[in-house]
C-alpha cells in the first residue's frame, strides 16, 4: 500500500473511532499490538465498507494533500477500504484460534508484512478462514508457517483452497511433525470426501 494511503487510513480511523478492545483477552491484544507495530494496520469497530469509503473520500477532499495525490487516493478509496476490511476480518477470525500460550509479540515483522500484503486481496470467506488459521498458527508457534506457503496460497484459486483444506484433514502427526496420510489404494474414499485427482 502506498505510504500516503496507509497514513490516511490510520489518521481517519484514529479520528473517527475510539479503539476499545477490552472484550478480548491479553493474547488477542498482543496480536493486535504486534500487527499495528509491524504493519501500521490499526483496528476499529464494525462499520460498513460503504460508510468507511464515503468518510475516507470526504476526508481526502478536505485534506491539504497535493491535488494529484488527493485524486489518486480518492480514486482508489474503494480498493483501500476493501483491503483494510479483508485484513480486519482475517485478524478477527484468527483470534478464535489463538492458544493462551501464543506469543504474537515474538512474530517476525517481515513475515507479518508479507502476510498482510497477501491477505488484503482475499475476499472469499473460506479463504479468509484459511489465512486466519495460518496467522493464528504463526502466533501460537513462531516460525511454524513458512513464507513460501504464503506465496503458494496466494496463487491458489477457490477450488484449490477447498481441496487443500480437505487434504489437510488427512494429516497426522509423526514425531510432532505434520505428515499427509494419503494412499492411492483408497482413491474412492478420497473421491467421496471431495478430494479431486488434481491434488
Convert the pLDDT of each residue in 110-157 to its tens digit: 999 999 999 999 988 888 998 999 999 999 998 889 999 899 888 988
Question: 172 - beta bridge partners?
Answer: 179
Structural contact between residues 86 and 118, judged by C-beta atoms closer than 8 angstroms: no
194 has pLDDT over 60? yes
pTM here is 0.68
Instruction: Report residue 31 as a C-alpha cell.
Output: 496480536
Convert the pLDDT of each residue in 81-119 to its tens digit: 888 889 989 998 999 899 888 888 899 999 999 999 999
Using CA atoms, how far apart are residues 156 and 152, in angstroms rounded to an integer?
7
User: 145-183 in b/e burial notation, b at 16+ Cβ within 10 A?
Assistant: beeeebeebeeeeeebbbbebebeebeeeeeeeeeeeee
Using CA atoms, how far apart are residues 44 and 152, in angstroms rounded to an integer?
30
Amino acid at each position: 500500500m502506498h505510504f500516503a494511503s496507509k497514513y490516511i487510513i490510520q489518521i481517519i480511523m484514529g479520528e473517527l473511532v475510539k479503539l476499545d478492545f477490552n472484550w478480548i483477552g491479553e493474547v488477542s491484544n498482543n496480536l493486535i499490538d504486534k500487527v499495528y507495530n509491524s504493519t501500521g494496520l490499526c483496528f476499529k469497530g464494525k462499520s460498513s465498507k460503504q460508510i468507511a469509503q464515503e468518510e475516507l473520500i470526504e476526508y481526502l477532499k478536505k485534506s491539504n494533500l497535493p491535488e494529484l495525490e488527493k485524486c489518486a487516493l480518492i480514486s482508489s478509496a474503494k480498493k483501500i477500504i476493501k483491503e483494510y476490511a479483508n485484513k480486519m476480518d482475517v485478524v478477527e477470525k484468527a483470534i478464535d484460534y489463538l492458544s493462551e500460550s501464543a506469543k504474537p509479540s515474538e512474530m517476525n515483522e517481515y513475515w507479518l508484512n508479507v502476510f498482510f500484503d497477501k491477505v488484503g486481496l482475499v475476499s472469499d470467506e473460506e479463504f479468509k478462514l484459511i489465512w486466519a488459521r495460518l496467522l493464528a498458527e504463526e502466533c501460537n508457534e513462531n516460525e511454524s508457517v513458512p513464507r513460501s506457503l504464503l506465496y503458494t496460497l496466494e496463487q491458489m484459486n477457490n477450488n484449490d483452497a477447498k481441496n487443500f483444506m480437505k487434504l489437510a484433514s488427512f494429516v497426522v502427526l509423526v514425531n510432532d511433525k505434520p505428515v499427509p496420510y494419503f494412499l492411492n489404494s483408497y482413491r474412492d474414499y478420497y473421491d467421496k470426501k471431495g478430494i479431486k485427482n488434481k491434488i
